[in-house]
């Protein structure tokens, strides 16, 4: 499949990065740290994308330790494991931020860098959901699914915002800055406190607040991890509304219909209508095999986001379809049949019960698990082919390499050309 048509390739040369970062932490702490210290650790011969990929390797190492110590996301790990997750994520954030500075000082800025950076971030989002869930001992259940929903929605909306406004806008509180730093602090605190089971305790009771009569019992009993999810929900709503307002304002300024852009959110919410239905119909997947399913869902989102970025770079129409959703549609239909027979058919009696529902081809056991892994394999194959095709297409057209610098910047030669 061709993801960038030949007539759209010339648009790549019109690319110009545009970004706005309103974060005070980024402006006064992180950026000076990156500019004055970190960037000098990387040689001029190192390609920006190689820096991005090197940073991602730290997160992959973190994920490997997760699979070894807590594959079910609900077991306490040795303190050094949580500490390594904090260090690995901070290094990832640092490398991810410095690659742009490296691109500018080596004169390697271009559309491939933005695509590569966002593509790695999309995969990292899913990995961090699993790491966070393991840190909080959320286990395989609805809390982890809700965390995944919030994280993927944040990333999708940010990319949707950039497509329509042509500017990457990071608010006063954003995922790539404050969100990641918060996770680093949570990981480090978990290492200090001795394990994820600490976050299962009621927060108000732990910090010494008495159970006054004006505090509802369910509020007083909320655990640390549940309070964190409340905080994340508030930030999610704020950022989503802010992005929607940005998009509508930008489209109105260009004389375009503002509400049409909101249709771009339908693919995400359509997919997330199917996900909880499937998991509710298949509790075995939810409780025992959630990790591979989360990977599958994460790649669905990464594929959507990648195609949005390509459409942004080539000034193409917003992509609203996603072929990776079709296996999920089949899984829902297959699982819905027995549920209808059991709950709707029985209500009409044995005489008419067979008119409702249909038998499942996959069942609820080993074949259903195999189906989830098949979906994951299909997603890896499709998304992998997308990545390879797009990288080769951009590199061939712009005469560049992905992980190395094909045409090093030489200041004297550039000055002669300018004269």
| Nearest of 9, 100, 47, 149 to residue 400 by alpha carbon | 47
For residue 194, what are its two tokens? 């001795």
How far from chain centre, in Å, is Cα 209?
Answer: 36
- Residues 22, 40, 118, 407: which is the catalytic one? 118
Compute the CA torsion angle 339, 376, 157, 141 (nearest 10 deg).
Answer: 50
Reply yes or no on whether 166 is catalytic. Answer: no
β-strands 19-21, 168-170: how paired?
Answer: parallel
To which residue do tokens 């991810």 refer? 96
The catalytic site residues sit at: 118
């Amino acid at each position: 499949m061709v993801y960038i048509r030949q007539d759209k390739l010339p648009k790549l040369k019109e690319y110009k990065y545009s970004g706005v970062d309103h974060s005070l932490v980024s402006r006064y702490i992180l950026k000076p740290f990156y500019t004055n210290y970190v960037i000098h650790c990387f040689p001029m011969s190192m390609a920006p994308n190689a820096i991005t990929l090197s940073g991602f390797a730290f997160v992959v190492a973190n994920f490997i330790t997760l699979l070894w110590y807590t594959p079910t996301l609900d077991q306490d790990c040795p303190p050094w494991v949580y500490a390594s997750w904090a260090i690995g994520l901070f290094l990832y954030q640092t490398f991810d931020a410095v690659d742009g500075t490296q691109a500018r000082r080596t004169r390697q800025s271009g559309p491939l860098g933005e695509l590569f950076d966002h593509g790695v971030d999309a995969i990292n989002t899913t990995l961090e959901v699993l790491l966070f869930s393991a840190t909080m001992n959320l286990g395989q259940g609805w809390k982890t699914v809700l965390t995944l929903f919030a994280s993927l929605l944040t990333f999708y909306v940010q990319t949707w915002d950039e497509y329509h406004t042509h500017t990457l806008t990071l608010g006063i509180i954003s995922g790539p800055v404050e969100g990641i730093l918060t996770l680093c602090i949570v990981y480090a605190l978990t290492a200090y406190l001795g394990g994820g089971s600490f976050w299962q305790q009621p927060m108000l009771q732990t910090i010494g607040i008495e159970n006054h009569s004006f505090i509802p019992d369910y509020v007083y009993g909320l655990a640390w991890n549940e309070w964190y999810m409340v905080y994340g929900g508030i930030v999610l709503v704020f950022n989503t509304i802010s992005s929607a307002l940005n998009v509508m304002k930008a489209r109105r300024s260009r004389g375009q219909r503002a509400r049409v852009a909101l249709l771009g959110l339908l693919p995400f919410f359509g997919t997330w209508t199917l996900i909880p239905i499937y998991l509710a119909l298949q509790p075995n997947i939810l409780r025992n095999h959630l990790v591979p399913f989360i990977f599958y869902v994460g790649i669905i989102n990464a594929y959507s986001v990648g195609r949005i970025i390509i459409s942004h770079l080539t000034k193409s129409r917003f992509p609203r379809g996603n072929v990776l959703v079709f296996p999920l549609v089949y899984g829902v239909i297959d699982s819905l049949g027995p549920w209808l027979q059991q709950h709707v058919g029985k209500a009409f009696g044995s005489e008419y019960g067979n008119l409702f529902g249909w038998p499942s081809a996959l069942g609820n056991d080993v074949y259903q698990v195999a189906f989830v892994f098949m979906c994951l394999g299909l997603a890896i194959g499709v998304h992998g082919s997308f990545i390879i095709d797009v990288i080769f297409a951009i590199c061939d057209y712009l005469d560049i390499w992905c992980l190395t610098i094909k045409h090093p910047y030489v200041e004297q030669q550039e000055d002669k050309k300018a004269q």
